[in-house]
């Protein structure tokens, strides 16, 4: 099954594409979290929401619980999108995937992203090491999900839904909590980092540390909200992404 959810693409094959915006979801999320993003960018930007194995319409596929094999799988599955100009966006776990995909493509001497947009994730060298939660007993695990505020109360209290979502969340959190960034030269593409002003687990200093991971331009932009600020802030966030792309050679000019 395709790694990209086709229902989230702008279906206009005759338009001129200047950039492809490849979106990676946060832990427990599917491609559907980006379902309306294609309506908020110029038609010259093709939006591709990635569906990870074991998520969304790929539930019948095995889950990954480590970032390296997942990134290798994604880089291979998304190979057609690396040919032209593309940018990567990922929130939380998706930021890890985006960052590691960019490094993998560089190691393989492939074309790198024109811009890297990382959201809701502290930089590797300022990430606090805390006891893992992905393997907690069920009651404690549910309470941790409540604290994170990313899973609706109605879902947490619905046994059938949780029977489906539980292994996905545990596998994704294991990816995040076992992730270690190996020392390597910084990327040469611009990096923009987004954060929530009320995200109690991530400080601005931890976001600003991403500046050490690129030799190009760097910016941090903050939005009202907690860790999942991207939902309410999507229109403004996408305006910022589009503006960054417009400032690049060959950037998008038209509007929807």
Number of continuous H segments (helices) and E segments (strands) in the chain:
7, 6
Q: Quick one: which of 55, 124, 135, 123 has its CA closest to 144?
A: 135
* Terminal C-alpha separation, the chain: 29
CA dihedral over 101, 69, 120, 79, signed as positive or negative: positive
Active-site entry in 30, 92, 98, 119? 92
Amino acid 150: pLDDT: 80
The structural domains of the chain, ordered by start, are 6-129+182-246 (3.40.50.1820)
What are residue 195's phi and psi, to 5 degrees?
-145, 160
Mean pLDDT by 10 residues, the chain (256 residues): 46 69 96 94 94 96 97 95 94 98 96 97 94 93 87 85 92 96 95 97 97 97 96 96 83 40
92 is a catalytic site residue: yes
Q: What is the pLDDT of residues 149-186, one digit of tens each?
A: 888 888 888 888 889 999 999 999 999 999 999 999 99
**Which DSSP state fits 203?**
-
Per-chain mean pLDDT for the chain: 90
Enclosing H/E stretch for 171: helix 159-178
Strands 218-223, 191-196: pairing kind? parallel
**Which DSSP state fits 256?**
-
With a CB cutoff of 8 Å and minimum separation 6, the contacts of 213 are: 99, 123, 124, 186, 187, 191
Amino acid 50: pLDDT: 97
Amino acid 4: pLDDT: 61
- Token digits for 24? 């990676």
């Amino acid at each position: 099954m395709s790694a990209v959810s086709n229902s989230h693409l702008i279906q206009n094959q005759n338009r001129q594409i200047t950039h492809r915006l490849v979106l990676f979801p946060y832990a427990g999320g599917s491609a559907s979290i980006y379902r309306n993003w294609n309506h908020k960018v110029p038609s010259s930007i093709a939006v591709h929401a990635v569906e990870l194995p074991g998520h969304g319409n790929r539930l019948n596929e095995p889950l990954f619980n480590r970032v390296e094999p997942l990134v290798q799988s994604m880089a291979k599955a998304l190979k057609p999108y690396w040919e032209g100009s593309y940018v990567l966006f990922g929130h939380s776990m998706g930021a890890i995937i985006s960052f590691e995909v960019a490094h993998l493509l560089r190691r393989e001497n492939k074309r790198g992203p024109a811009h890297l947009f990382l959201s809701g994730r502290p930089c590797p060298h300022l990430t606090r090491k805390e006891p893992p939660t992905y393997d907690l007993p069920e009651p404690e695990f549910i309470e941790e999900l409540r604290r994170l505020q990313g899973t609706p109360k109605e879902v947490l209290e619905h046994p059938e839904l949780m029977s489906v979502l539980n292994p996905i969340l545990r596998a994704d959190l294991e990816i995040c909590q076992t992730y270690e960034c190996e020392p390597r030269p910084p990327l040469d593409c611009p990096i923009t980092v987004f954060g929530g002003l009320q995200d109690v687990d991530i400080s601005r200093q931890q976001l600003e540390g991403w500046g050490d991971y690129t030799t190009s331009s760097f910016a941090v932009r903050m939005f009202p909200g907690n860790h999942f600020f991207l939902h309410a802030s999507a229109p403004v966030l996408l305006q910022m992404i589009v503006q960054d792309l417009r400032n690049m050679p060959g950037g998008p000019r038209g509007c929807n």
